[in-house]
């Protein structure tokens, strides 16, 4: 019997503690699986970024962070090896809303798989209105 390839796995996110619950609510309403540091019992414990990424990868989830210091390879060695389930780096500024973050993460969830995100880092981009049928 031939070994059939496994079907692609949908994106599953692990949110660090800097992200807003409104983003989780939006994604959940659109069928995207999100686990937060609070739900995982890892919030407010001063767990370093490398350990958070290792945890996310161990449970096969893409880490989502808005921590501007997160992408320092001296602090997060997995960045140099690419041995992680994937990272999405969001940003907060005057031109970016919580809704923009939610839509971007939904876009990734609808266009990527866990396999395509392995070892990848995605940086926030504005997603144009009209991308989704319910825009």
Q: 12-123 architecture in CATH?
A: 3-Layer(aba) Sandwich (3.40)
Is the pTM value of this prediction over 0.95? no
The arrangement of strands across the sheet holding 87-89 comes to 33-36, 12-15, 62-65, 87-89, 121-123
pLDDT on residue 5? 80
Three-state SS for 56? helix
pLDDT tens digits, one per residue of 10-64: 999 999 988 889 999 999 999 999 999 999 999 999 999 899 999 999 999 999 9
């Amino acid at each position: 019997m031939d070994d059939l390839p496994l079907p692609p796995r949908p994106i599953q996110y692990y949110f660090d503690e800097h992200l807003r619950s409104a983003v989780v609510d939006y994604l959940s309403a659109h069928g995207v699986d999100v686990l937060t540091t609070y739900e995982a019992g890892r919030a407010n414990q001063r767990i370093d970024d490398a350990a958070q990424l290792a945890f996310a990868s161990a449970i096969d989830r893409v880490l989502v962070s808005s921590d501007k210091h997160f992408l320092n390879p001296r602090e997060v060695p997995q960045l140099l090896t690419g041995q992680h389930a994937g990272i999405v780096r969001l940003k907060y500024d005057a031109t970016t809303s919580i809704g923009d973050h939610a839509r971007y993460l939904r876009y990734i969830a609808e266009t990527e798989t866990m396999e395509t995100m392995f070892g990848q880092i995605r940086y926030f981009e504005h997603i144009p209105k009209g991308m989704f049928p319910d825009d």
